[in-house]
Structure 1
Amino acid sequence: MADTLSQLYLGAGLTVLSHPLMYVKVLIQVGHEPLPPTPGRNIFGRPVFQLPGLFAYAKHIVKIDGKRGLFKGLVPRLCAGTIGTVVHSKVLQVSTLSMHYHDTKVTECLELGKLAGSSSLYRVFEETTREMIARSTATIVTHPFHVITLRCMIQFIGQETKYSGVFGSVVTIYREEGLLGFFAGLIPRLLGDMISLWLCNLLAYVINTYILEPPSQGSHIGELRSYSQAVTGFLASMLTYPFVLVSNLMAVNNCGLVGGLPPYAAVYSSWIDCWRQLSREGNMGRGNSLFFRKAPAGRNYALDQKRFV
């Protein structure tokens, strides 16, 4: 219980601190670029047009909505984080108890040497499966709050107030879209989470087992092994970012807001259709970086070309 409470407090604090970053990221993901690009140079010194980064974008939001404007959608996001933490913890406990008998039998086999060569890999699969079940359950339960959070955020584009408050947003979504509206974008989100989790854990296992030596054979190896999970987690999140992007776009697609309707945004028939269109446009990484954002090719900007000289 104490561990769960500490996780709740820590998670809430991190959510509040990171909310402006997520807010800017979501607006970029849906393609909202209110500020013109400026001339700059890339890491090779070549002149390029760069779109405004996190701080310039956040400053623009503050200019229009004030500092409180950076925290649109915070309440439903806090609800999602709190409920998700509790559900994840409870499901993990239940799954651990349900597998206790199975673990006992496996331990007996290991003691007999029947699975000695694959015991570590088996443990990776077992722990990853438990974590996948817990994460997926928490994601499904909290996804309606995630949808409300995203829709509150993109109201900035049209300066709308359609989604205000958690209860009012629930009523609006149910009245216009029914129960399915609360789970818009759920499938790509679940797929991305599961693929990222399995990639992270399996890559960490391969690195720790076949690349790094056992901790006893080197003073720095143990420290490197402790960092492998974080590194593989970062790589996995980069590879599965398109799922995050597609999920967020589908959550606001055709929701009655300017940011989710033509001519501002396309209306997608399914998340696969969204994936295909983004892929054709070369936008699968849109919003992945909040700094050094290169302006997309094929667009004209009225800027002073002399600044490149």
Structure 2
Amino acid sequence: MADAASQVLLGSGLTVLSQPLMYVKVLVQVGYEPLPPTLGRNIFGRQVYQLPGLFSYAKHIVKVDGRAGLFKGLAPRLCSSAIGTVVHGKVLQQYQEAEEAEPGTSKKEPVSSLEQVLKETSREMVARSAATLITHPFHVITLRCMVQFIGRETKYSGTLSAFATIYREEGILGFFAGLIPRLLGDILSLWLCNMLAYLINTYALENGVSTMAEVKSYSQAVTGFFASMLTYPFVLVSNLMAVNNCGLAGGLLPYAPTYSSWLDCWSQLHKEGNMSRGNSLFFRKVPAGKRYVWEERRFR
């Protein structure tokens, strides 16, 4: 219990610290650009027109809503984090208890490294999927609370009232808008990360010197970053579907058409070249072939 409580507290702390970052990212993902491009320099020192980065965007939010404005949607996100941590831990605990209860467990021969990776990844996939499934309604509410900044709405003003609003207007399915691409992205990212780390540790670093043991400890983080980059479009599509056509300005035209499904959303973003929108919040380039529309605070 103490271990679970410490994990919840740690997760809650990280959630609070990362809230402004997620808030800005979500608004950028929707396509909201409250500040026009400015002339700056890229990483090579060349003068280019750039979109405001994380800090400029955050300053604008503070100017409009004060510092507390950076933490819109924090309450449902904290609920999601805490519940997700507990569910994830409980699922893994059930696997561990079932394995210990098997007769002759101590007499079993050691499994191969690959077999162990496959088993642990499969268990982690089930645990993450269960946590995502249970906490997704809180995730939807979090996103909608954030997107209200665009139209200055107050439709989702509290967690409990948001549950009632979604159920009244969209039914049970409204709580799971964007769930499929989110699950697919999580699963693909997990398997890519773990299998790449296994391949690197087993083959690329197999015959290295003793210092390679330290390098191996970082391979999981490196492959995790690489996997998250590859699966980012699933995150983008999931977030857009969670707010699409929900009655908020950020989920309607001119920011987004009414998508018939997440595949339709994927297809439209791909055609527009927007599959990586919001992936980077620094050195943001002006979209090629687009012009900034001040009245709409977006590019078209």
The TM-score range, normalised by the shorter chain, is: over 0.9
What is the distance in 1 between the residues matched to 2:267 and 2:23? 25
2:240 corresponds, among 240, 249, 272, to 249
Give 1 or 2 for the bigger CA radius of gyration.
1
Structure 2: which 5+ runs fail to align?
294-300
TM-score, with normalisation over the residues of structure 2? 0.93
One-letter amino acid matched to 1:202: M
The answer (yes or no) to whether the contact 1:192–1:244 under 8 Å persists in 2 is yes
What is the distance in 2 between the residues matched to 1:103 and 1:198? 30
Q: Does 1:166 align with 2:154?
A: no
Structure 1: which 5+ runs fail to align?
303-309
What is the distance in 1 between the residues matched to 2:291 and 2:97? 61
One-letter amino acid matched to 1:53: G
> Which has the higher mean CA deviation after the structures are superposed, 292-301 or 42-51?
42-51
TM-score, with normalisation over the residues of structure 1? 0.91
Partner of 1:155: 148
1:219 corresponds, among 202, 205, 210, to 210
The answer (yes or no) to whether the contact 2:30–2:255 under 8 Å persists in 1 is no
- 1:209-262, CA deviations, whole angstroms, 9 ceiling, x for partnerless residues? 001136xx6331110010001111110111100000000000000000000012
The answer (yes or no) to whether the contact 1:246–1:271 under 8 Å persists in 2 is yes
- 1:164-199, CA deviations, whole angstroms, 9 ceiling, x for partnerless residues? 111000000000000000000000000000000000
CA 1:76/1:279 → structure 2, altered by over 3 Å: closer, same or farther? same
Partner of 2:131: 138
Instruction: Give 3-state SS (helix, strand or coil) of 2:163's partner.
Output: helix
CA 1:122/1:263 → structure 2, altered by over 3 Å: closer, same or farther? same
What is the distance in 2 between the residues matched to 1:96 and 1:300? 56
Instruction: Give 3-state SS (helix, strand or coil) of 2:287's partner.
Output: coil
Q: Does 1:47 align with 2:47?
A: yes
How far off its partner does 1:104 sit? Answer: 5.2
How far off its partner does 1:42 sit? Answer: 2.5
Partner of 2:262: 271
What is the distance in 2 between the residues matched to 1:104 and 1:190? 36
CA 1:301/1:81 → structure 2, altered by over 3 Å: closer, same or farther? closer
Partner of 2:278: 287
Instruction: Give 3-state SS (helix, strand or coil) of 2:40's partner.
Output: strand
What is the distance in 2 between the residues matched to 1:11 and 1:289? 23
Q: Does 1:231 align with 2:231?
A: no
One-letter amino acid matched to 1:37: P
How far off its partner does 1:298 sit? Answer: 1.9
CA 1:103/1:135 → structure 2, altered by over 3 Å: closer, same or farther? farther
Instruction: Give 3-state SS (helix, strand or coil) of 2:157's partner.
Output: coil
One-letter amino acid matched to 1:2: A
2:184 corresponds, among 177, 181, 191, to 191
The answer (yes or no) to whether the contact 2:24–2:58 under 8 Å persists in 1 is yes
Partner of 2:95: 95
One-letter amino acid matched to 2:261: S
What is the distance in 1 between the residues matched to 2:103 and 2:242? 39
How far off its partner does 1:54 sit? Answer: 0.3
What is the distance in 1 between the residues matched to 2:184 and 2:266? 13
The answer (yes or no) to whether the contact 1:96–1:130 under 8 Å persists in 2 is no
Q: Percent identity?
A: 72
- 1:262-304, CA deviations, whole angstroms, 9 ceiling, x for partnerless residues? 23321100000000100110100000001000011223359xx
Instruction: Give 3-state SS (helix, strand or coil) of 2:288's partner.
Output: coil
CA 1:125/1:45 → structure 2, altered by over 3 Å: closer, same or farther? same
Instruction: Give 3-state SS (helix, strand or coil) of 2:150's partner.
Output: helix
CA 1:241/1:103 → structure 2, altered by over 3 Å: closer, same or farther? farther
2:194 corresponds, among 197, 201, 204, to 201
Partner of 1:124: 117
Output the aligned Cα RMSD. 1.8
